[in-house]
Amino acid sequence: MPFALLKDRALISVSGPDAEHFLQNILTTDLDALGPGEAKPGALLAPQGKILFDFLISRAGDNGLRLECRADIADDFVRRLMLYRLRAKAEIAKQDQVFVTVSWGNDSTASHFDSIGAQSTALTDARFRDVAVRRVYGDAAGDGDAGAWQALRIANGIAESGSDYQLGDAFPHDVLLDETGGVGFKKGCYVGQEVVSRMQHRGTARRRVLIAAAAGSLPPSGTEVTVNGRPVGTLGSVSGGRGLAIARIDRVKAALDACDAIMAGETPIILAIPAWAKFTFPQDAVGAEEA
């Protein structure tokens, strides 16, 4: 059964009687809908609505939550949370080195986690719809296959900061947090909520994660995606001939309607919406003067 040890992740614990109320008021995730045994995506936004920090959040006991994020942003994330804490009775701390292991497939809930041991915490990764993915925080049982994990993320259209977009440069809709349970549209206010709600209700999200495919190998992450020499997006994670791209779906639709080639550098590609996603290409593609 495939699994991978993720060596670039860190855990932040937030505990205390006010922990959930505190986080509910600043994060995009609706914690009222966060069940035990699951890890949901989310973000802490700038007031202008762009993602400053992305993470997976899960419950840890009666008055605790844990935030799994990139290891290289964990210290900054802790400092930002401290700024918002004010008088809330909540303790915020980055945990000591904790291994994060992911496992997937029909038996991902069983044998591999049994082999890791009783000291581990196994959670369902709620971002994935078509495959069972579990995350373990605890002891590691080998390195596994990081390349297979990246290929799985790509196949399922799951974008992450660093690999697929830069923090401070994307709205939640751009990276499909609105469709993976990372944004609570029925919860109260949180930082950046007004901008995100406006994009949702007006249907103005134009940049979206798409799955890129090429006949051969794709060029490296960061390569510009163009139509007739004009930029429409950028490649993110790449695995052989498949990759993720964040692209303007109105401009992609215009290219599809006109049968224009979509290029990643010098490589022709096909861009498709992830099979589970609810958004569609716009009916009225962008006009030539906007492209």
pLDDT digits 0-9 by tens, 159-173: 999 999 999 999 999
What pLDDT, on the 0 to 100 scale, is given for residue 107? Answer: 55
- Contact in structure between 56 and 170 (CB atoms under 8 Å): no
Average pLDDT, the chain: 92
**Cα dihedral 9, 15, 18, 19 in deg (nearest 10):** 10
- Tokens 């993976």 correspond to what residue? 180
What pLDDT, on the 0 to 100 scale, is given for residue 141? Answer: 74
Q: How many whole angstroms separate alpha carbon 48 and alpha carbon 50?
A: 6
Letter for the amino acid at 24? Q
What pLDDT, on the 0 to 100 scale, is given for residue 223? Answer: 98
Q: How many whole angstroms separate alpha carbon 33 and alpha carbon 187?
A: 10
Question: Quick one: what percent of the chain has pLDDT higher than 90?
Answer: 85
Pairing assessment for the beta strands 133-138 and 224-227 based on DSSP bridges: unpaired
Give the residue-averaged pLDDT of 9-27.
97
Identify the sign of the CA torsion 238, 244, 246, 252: positive
Whole-model pTM: value is 0.92
What pLDDT, on the 0 to 100 scale, is given for residue 121? Answer: 73
What pLDDT, on the 0 to 100 scale, is given for residue 285? Answer: 56
pLDDT, one tens digit per residue, over 172-184 is 999 999 999 999 9
Give the residue-averaged pLDDT of 121-142.
90
Q: How many whole angstroms separate alpha carbon 82 and alpha carbon 22?
A: 11
What pLDDT, on the 0 to 100 scale, is given for residue 43? Answer: 98
Q: How many whole angstroms separate alpha carbon 48 and alpha carbon 42?
A: 16
pLDDT, one tens digit per residue, over 21-46 is 999 999 999 999 999 999 999 999 99
Residue 109 has pLDDT above 70, yes or no: no
Beta partners for residue 215, in sequence order: none
pLDDT, one tens digit per residue, over 277-286 is 999 999 865 5
Does domain 7-101+153-175 match CATH 3.30.70.1400?
yes
What pLDDT, on the 0 to 100 scale, is given for residue 98? Answer: 82
Q: How many whole angstroms separate alpha carbon 229 and alpha carbon 263?
A: 9
- For the chain, give every domain's residue range: 7-101+153-175
What pLDDT, on the 0 to 100 scale, is given for residue 138? Answer: 84
What pLDDT, on the 0 to 100 scale, is given for residue 286? Answer: 52
Residue 110 has pLDDT above 70, yes or no: no
